[in-house]
């Protein structure tokens, strides 16, 4: 595998924070996305390289391995084990005359691209698990209110996945066997999808519960009545008690967000009343309010 400087691919420095990695990836992914550059092979090649760079640098653990071992980062665990084995064998060889440093070099080369092709050690072929792929999927809050299917393009391949209702912002799901190919007959890696959920609704999500503020006119707040309010899945009629105070909060049971992987289960919706004061009062209305104020003082 040729060495690719993923930091240069994303146009960031090695000291870049994880947030800066994500920001750079999003910017470049939008710029070189195939939908924006149809029938442009160079843009498609660049887009794949950008995704590859994000799969490595976007994962702190993978990034640490890449910084330490470069193009061999996928075999970091095996390299570390081999180093420990070298230390242990070096200690034993002092007293037993066993496996020496030169022998270890042969062993190391056979594992990581050395002379015996095929990756054999001690007569056995070493199987390596494939690289995990990391992807970020951006959705709107309304998109995850219902379970649905979506097709993703990962490294040029289309993968159809089911997105369960109720998935949360920042949550990661694993699609087994859709990562990089294994070596020497090893298993494929997995695809790890992290969800970035934007909320452009008047509802605030708190786990499975939803919150929103509802404006209430002064007259309904004082006298009571019936109003129509928007929930996430439609309108409902609601009775308002007389003398409702500003900031009063009520709960609509099971009108919140769906519970992840629990079909038919929902959180609650909490409504907070914000009493809207009347403006542009007529002379008669002002007189009536003055009369009410006078009556209130006489109590």
> What is the predicted pLDDT for the residue at 117?
38
> What is the predicted pLDDT for the residue at 154?
79
The DSSP symbol for 158 reads E
In Å, what is the CA distance from 46 to each residue of 32, 33, 70? 7, 9, 20
> What is the predicted pLDDT for the residue at 87?
64
CA distance 255 to 212: 12
pLDDT digits (tens, 9 = 90+) for 14-28: 999 999 999 999 999
> What is the predicted pLDDT for the residue at 222?
94
DSSP 19-82: HHHHHHHHHHHHHH-TTTSTT-HHHHHHHHHHHHHHHHHTSHHHHHHHHHHGGGGGGHHHHHHH
**CATH code, residues 6-125:** 1.10.287.110
Weakly modelled stretches of the chain, pLDDT under 70: 1-3, 85-125, 298-299
DSSP 103-133: HHHHHHHHHTT-SSTT-EETTEEPPBPPPPE
> What is the predicted pLDDT for the residue at 90?
55
Dmax of the chain from CA atoms? 109
Helix (H) or strand (E) holding 140: strand 133-140
CA distance 200 to 64: 35
Architecture of domain 204-279: Sandwich (2.60)
DSSP-assigned beta bridge partners for residue 231: 234
User: Which sequence spans correspond to the domains of the chain?
Assistant: 6-125, 133-198, 204-279
Q: Which tokens is 272 given?
A: 């907070």
> What is the predicted pLDDT for the residue at 112?
45
Closest-CA residue to 240 (of 212, 221, 219, 215): 221
- 290 near 231, Cβ under 8 Å? no
> What is the predicted pLDDT for the residue at 86?
62
SS3 content of the chain, % helix, strand, coil (to 5): 35, 25, 35
Pick the CATH number of 133-198 from 3.40.50.1240, 3.90.1150.10, 2.60.260.20, 2.60.120.10: 2.60.260.20
Would you give the distance in Å from CA 2 to the centre of its chain? 30
250-288 in b/e form (b: 16+ CB < 10 A) is eeeeebbbbbeeeeeebbebbbebebeeeeeeeeeeeee
Same fold across 133-198 and 204-279: yes
Helix, strand or coil for residue 187?
coil
Torsion of CA 80, 83, 89, 92, to 10 degrees: -90
Torsion of CA 101, 106, 107, 110, to 10 degrees: 160
- 269 near 250, Cβ under 8 Å? no
Q: Which tokens is 16 given?
A: 């870049």
Q: Which tokens is 91 given?
A: 């200690």
Burial class from Cβ neighbours inside 10 Å (0-12, 13-18, 19+) for residue 90 reads: middle
């Amino acid at each position: 595998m040729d060495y690719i400087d993923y930091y240069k691919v994303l146009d960031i420095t090695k000291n870049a924070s994880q947030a800066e990695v994500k920001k750079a990836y999003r910017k470049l992914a939008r710029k070189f996305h195939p939908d924006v550059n149809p029938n442009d092979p160079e843009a498609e090649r660049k887009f794949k390289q950008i995704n590859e760079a994000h799969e490595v640098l976007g994962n702190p653990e993978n990034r640490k391995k890449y910084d330490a071992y470069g193009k061999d980062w996928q075999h970091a665990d095996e390299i570390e084990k081999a180093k420990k084995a070298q230390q242990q064998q070096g200690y034993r060889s002092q007293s037993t005359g066993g496996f020496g440093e030169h022998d270890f070099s042969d062993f190391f080369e056979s594992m990581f691209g050395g002379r015996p092709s095929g990756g054999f050690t001690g007569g056995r072929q070493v199987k390596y698990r494939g690289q995990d792929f990391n992807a970020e999927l951006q959705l709107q809050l309304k998109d995850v209110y219902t379970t649905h299917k979506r097709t993703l393009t990962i490294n040029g391949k289309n993968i159809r996945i089911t997105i369960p209702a109720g998935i949360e912002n920042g949550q990661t799901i694993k699609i087994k066997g859709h990562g990089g190919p294994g070596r020497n007959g090893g298993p494929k890696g997995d695809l790890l999808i992290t969800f970035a959920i934007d909320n452009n609704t008047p509802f605030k999500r708190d786990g499975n519960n939803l919150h929103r503020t509802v404006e209430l006119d002064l007259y309904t707040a004082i006298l009571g009545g019936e109003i129509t309010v928007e929930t996430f899945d439609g309108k409902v009629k609601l009775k308002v008690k007389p003398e409702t105070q500003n900031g009063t909060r009520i709960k609509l049971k099971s009108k919140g967000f769906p519970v992840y992987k629990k079909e038919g289960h929902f959180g609650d919706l909490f409504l907070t009343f914000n009493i809207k004061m009347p403006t542009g009062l007529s002379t008669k209305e002002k007189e009536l309010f003055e009369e009410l104020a006078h009556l209130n003082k006489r109590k």
